[in-house]
Each structure stands twice: as structure tokens, then as C-alpha cells.
């Protein structure tokens, strides 16, 4: 039976459409030699992760990358940078000054013994510069480098001073020449009220010494102008005890318009302000940060030592007021030793309370709380990271590399709280 006209029209339209599709596919899929190439099937992919804005800091102390009596090696730096990058860190506080010695090539302070493995002032053989190498490797991995320097510590041994023949001359002897000696004791060191030199972990320079301030600033200026570092990180920028400093330099310069504790805090504050006013302008975007005592004032009656009263470290003054003079502070809220389970003074609840207290007085500057890395379970670290995020800090920092390495926590970070990449927050208040 013959088809009707409408059905014929429908078949003709379908045929024409089929011919057009075949023709278009042939045109797009042919090579110049006439061979057909099958076009790939386009599928929808997951969108790339949007980075967070959060500083993820890692302290690398001199004990993390050197050993006493052994020459330091570039391979250790390679290991540190690779593990930090794999975990997701974006900033490293790399220690370059311990007890007025240099873990880099300096014309101001002598080589640290722990670099050469031989003697104070002895350069490594073959010669290499650990800081230059660290900056090169870290920057290639997208990680900032903040040169971490102990400020007031002069020497670690309470009885034996450093080698007087080291070159350049060690700061101990520069301080001795500047302020003199009485009773065999350097006047420029911190003294107890009984006139004994303060010596717990370190012999420390008195914060009242302008000569000392100028020396630290010269060291920092040298670091900033010769190395492509992203920041200067200050540590041990406080008195060594509440019963300090009754040295002759302090006694001679004390201003009775203030109580003695008030005057002591002003000495430390003055050193920090000099770093900010004289060193930060040397490089665009340079950070000035400091590791600070974890309890500013014990408002809660816990019985802990206080930065403000016991060490004369008024860290909230550095970030407060109309003219703050530091970019970030890192309260060191972690134990000296770790128990399993954690039953230390520094519980998660206290950690949270302290961070909230500092963040509440941040005045627009950055709080980067310290988290211990030596806990026997990673949950302790992750809980504190999450608390910092909930509180709204600009990030956090882990102390320190060796503890992470000992517990193999790098992959836990990469697969957990650092799974999403992060960029370091910008500093908006100075060039």
C-alpha cells in the first residue's frame, strides 16, 4: 500500500539530518591525509580546590637539622623541605641564630659549631651556605622562609664562655668590651638580684643595652639584605626570670618614673619596636613575627608562669594600641614533654582558652598559635588546628619538625586538615 505524503516528508527530513551529522563529523575528524581521527569524549571533571587563606607554619630549630660534633648536610634540608611541602605547609621558621652564632655565612657573627661539626667560627668544608640553600629549596616548593633568631641569648654554657679567638669575634666578648666586667662577671648580662649571673638555659644579654640592640639589628639587616627571606622571626625576646635583671647596665639606666617591672617591659618593647621600625622597611612585604610566652596573664588562676609578670614580655602591647609594632605573634602553647594519653598542663580546653584570649586582643594583627607536634595521636594536633580555624586566627604553627618526623605525621596532615591547599595571608598595614 503506498505511503502517504506526510510520511515521505518525515523520512526525507531524517535522512537530511543524518547526512549533515556525518558530513560535520568527517570534516572535524579528518587529518590532511584523509585518515579519520576519533574525537575524545568530553566528560565533566571535578573543579579544582579553592585554596584557603591560612598560614601553616613549621618551626625548624637548629636541633632539627644539625647534630653536635657532626657536619650539617644539604641532604637534611632537602628532606625537611620535601616533607613540609608534601604535608602542605606554606611557611617555615628556620633557625639561623642560637647563641649569638650563625647558621649561615655571616661577617658579623661566627659560624656555629653545629654547622661545621668542628669548632665555633670554623666554616663548613666544603663551604656551603645553609640559609641560601634552604631559601632556594623552599621557594622552589612554594614555601616561605622566615629567618628565626634567638635575640637575648649570648651563650648556653653557664661556666665556659665561647672561644675568644673565633672569627668574627663572638658577641660575648663584644658585650664584655662594651660594658666591662666586675667580679669576673660581664656587666652586660642579666643578673639575679643576688648579683649572680642569670643562667638557666642561657646566659642572656640585658635588654637595657643599646649596644646589644644595635648588634641584633645589624644581624637582622644583614639577613634581610643578603637573603631572599620572607620574614624575621624573633624568639627568646624576654627576660630569663622574674628575678632579673639587676645587672649594672640596668641599674645605671633605670628610670625611676616607672616601677622596675614597668621599666623592664619597656626595655623589651623597645627592642621589638626597633626591629619593626628599622628592619621591616628594608624589604617590601617582610614579616616581623615573634614566638611569645603562652600565658600573657593567668586570668584563670591555673598557676602558670606569666609572660607579663614573670618574664616582662608585654606581647599584647606589640600588637595593640594606635601604632602596633609587630605583624604576628605565636603563643607557644605546648608541653616540654608529651605523655600518652595527654595529661599535661596544656590541655585542649586550655589551648582554646589561651588562643581566644590572644585573638580577642589581636587588634587586626595576626595571631599564629603554636601547636605541639609530639602528641602520641594525631587527633590532638588536628583538634587544635580545627579550634584555631573556628576561633578565626590567621593560621597556626607546629613545633617542631623532629617531632612530626618521629611520629610520621606528614601524611596525616596532607590527607586531613591540609588536604585543601592554603596561601599565606597578606600583610595590608605596611608595604
pLDDT tens-digit series, residues 352-374? 999 999 999 999 999 999 999 99
d(CA 183, CA 151): 26
Determine whether 197 is exposed, middle or buried from the number of CB atoms within 10 Å of its CB (0-12, 13-18, 19+). Answer: middle
Q: How far apart are CA 268 and CA 208, in angstroms?
A: 8
Q: Which residues contact 82 (CB under 8 A, 6 or more apart)?
A: 141
Distance CA 393, CA 331 (A): 12
* Rounded mean pLDDT, 48-53: 83
Per mean pLDDT, which of 22-36, 39-53, 79-93 is the most reliable? 79-93
- Which three cell numbers mark 404? 612530626
Burial 117-138 (b: 16+ CB within 10 A, else e): beebbbebeeeebbbeebbbbb
DSSP three-state, residue 95: strand
Q: What is the pLDDT of residue 47?
A: 58
User: Rounded mean pLDDT of 281-290?
Assistant: 98
**What is the pLDDT averaged over residues 172-184?**
97
84 near 92, Cβ under 8 Å?
yes
Provide the 10 A C-beta neighbour count for residue 304: 17
Q: Report residue 45's pLDDT band, with 50, 70 and 90 as the boundaries.
A: low
Mean pLDDT for 26-53 is 53
Residue 226: exposed, middle, or buried by beta-carbon count in 10 A (0-12, 13-18, 19+)? middle
The ranges of the chain annotated as CATH 3.20.20.80 are 55-423
pLDDT at position 149: 98
Looking at per-residue confidence, does 33 or 393 come out higher? 393
On the question of pLDDT at 4 being above 50, the answer is: no
Out of 5-14, 204-213, 222-231, which region has the weakest mean confidence (pLDDT)? 5-14
DSSP string, 226-250: HS--SEEEEES-S-S-SS----HHH
Whole-Å CA distances, 226 to 105, 122, 253, 281, 291: 10, 21, 35, 15, 24
Give the pLDDT mean for 242-265: 97
The CA-based angle 376-200-260, given to 5 degrees, is 115
Q: Is the pLDDT of residue 35 over 50?
A: no
Task: Give me the percent of the chain exceeding a pLDDT of 90.
Answer: 86
Lowest mean pLDDT among 2-16, 152-166, 289-303: 2-16
40-54, 73-87, 188-202, 407-421: least confident range:
40-54
pLDDT tier at 99 (50, 70, 90 boundaries)? Answer: very high
Pick 95 or 44 by higher pLDDT: 95
Query: Which of 3.20.20.80, 2.30.110.10, 3.40.50.300, 1.10.150.120 would CATH assign to domain 55-423?
Result: 3.20.20.80
CB 232 within 8 A of CB 183: no
Question: Model's pTM, two decimal places?
Answer: 0.89
Mean pLDDT score across all residues of the chain: 91
pLDDT tier at 159 (50, 70, 90 boundaries)? confident
What burial letters (b/e) apply to 244-266, b meaning 16+ CB within 10 Å?
A: bbbbbbbeeeeeeeeeeeebbbb
**Could you count the other beta carbons within 10 Å of the beta carbon of residue 90?**
24
DSSP reduced 3-state for 194? coil
Report which of residues 27 and 89 the model is more confident about.
Answer: 89
**pLDDT tier, 39 (very low <50, low <70, confident <90, very high otherwise):** very low
Task: At 369, list the grid cell.
Answer: 598559635
Q: Is the pLDDT of residue 270 over 80?
A: yes
Quick check: 14 pLDDT over 50? no
C-alpha neighbours within 13 Å on the C-beta side of residue 426: 5
Do 192 and 240 form a contact (C-beta atoms < 8 A)?
A: no
Asked if 290 contacts 238 with a C-beta cutoff of 8 angstroms, the reply is no
> How open is the CA angle 320-326-327, to the nearest 5 degrees?
100
Amino acid at each position: 500500500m503506498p505511503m502517504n505524503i506526510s510520511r515521505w516528508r518525515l523520512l526525507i527530513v531524517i535522512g537530511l539530518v543524518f547526512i549533515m551529522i556525518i558530513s560535520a563529523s568527517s570534516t572535524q575528524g579528518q587529518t590532511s591525509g584523509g585518515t579519520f581521527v576519533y574525537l575524545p569524549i568530553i566528560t565533566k571533571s571535578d573543579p579544582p580546590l579553592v585554596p584557603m587563606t591560612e598560614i601553616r607554619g613549621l618551626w625548624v630549630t637548629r636541633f632539627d637539622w644539625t647534630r653536635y660534633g657532626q657536619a650539617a648536610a644539604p641532604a637534611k634540608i632537602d628532606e625537611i623541605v620535601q616533607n613540609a611541602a608534601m604535608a602542605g605547609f606554606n611557611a617555615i621558621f628556620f633557625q639561623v641564630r642560637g647563641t649569638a652564632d650563625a647558621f649561615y655565612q655571616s661577617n658579623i657573627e661566627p659560624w656555629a659549631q653545629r654547622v661545621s661539626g668542628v669548632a665555633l667560627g670554623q666554616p663548613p668544608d666544603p663551604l656551603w651556605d645553609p640559609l641560601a640553600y634552604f631559601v632556594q629549596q623552599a621557594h622552589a616548593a612554594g614555601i616561605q622562609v622566615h629567618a628565626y633568631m634567638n635575640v637575648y641569648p649570648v651563650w648556653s654554657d653557664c661556666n665556659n664562655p665561647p672561644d675568644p679567638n673565633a672569627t668574627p669575634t663572638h658577641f660575648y666578648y663584644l658585650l664584655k668590651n662594651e660594658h666591662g666586667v666586675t667580679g669576673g662577671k660581664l656587666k652586660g648580662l642579666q643578673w639575679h638580684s643576688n648579683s649572680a649571673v642569670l643562667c638557666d638555659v642561657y646566659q642572656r644579654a640585658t635588654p637595657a643595652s643599646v649596644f646589644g640592640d644595635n648588634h641584633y639589628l645589624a644581624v637582622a639587616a644583614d639577613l634581610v639584605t643578603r637573603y631572599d627571606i620572607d620574614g624575621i622571626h624573633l624568639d627568646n625576646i624576654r627576660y630569663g626570670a622574674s628575678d632579673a635583671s639587676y645587672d649594672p647596665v640596668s641599674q645605671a639606666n633605670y628610670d625611676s618614673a616607672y616601677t622596675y617591672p614597668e621599666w623592664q617591659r619597656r626595655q623589651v618593647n623597645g627592642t621589638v619596636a626597633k626591629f619593626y621600625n628599622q628592619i621591616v622597611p628594608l624589604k617590601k612585604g617582610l614579616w616581623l613575627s615573634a614566638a611569645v610566652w603562652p600565658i600573657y596573664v593567668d586570668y584563670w588562676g591555673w598557676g602558670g608562669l606569666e609572660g607579663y609578670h614573670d618574664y616582662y614580655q608585654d606581647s599584647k602591647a606589640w600588637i595593640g594600641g594606635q601604632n602596633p609594632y609587630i605583624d604576628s605573634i605565636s603563643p607557644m602553647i605546648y608541653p616540654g614533654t608529651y605523655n600518652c594519653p595527654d595529661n599535661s598542663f596544656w590541655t585542649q580546653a586550655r589551648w582554646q582558652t589561651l588562643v581566644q584570649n590572644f585573638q580577642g586582643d589581636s587588634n587586626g594583627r595576626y595571631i599564629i598559635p603554636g601547636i605541639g607536634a609530639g602528641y602520641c595521636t594525631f587527633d590532638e594536633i588536628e583538634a587544635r588546628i580545627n579550634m584555631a580555624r573556628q576561633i578565626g586566627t590567621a593560621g597556626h604553627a607546629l613545633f617542631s619538625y623532629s617531632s612530626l618526623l618521629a611520629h610520621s605525621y606528614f601524611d596525616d596532615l596532607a590527607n586531613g586538615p591540609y588536604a585543601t591547599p592554603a596561601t599565606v595571608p597578606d600583610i595590608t598595614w605596611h608595604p
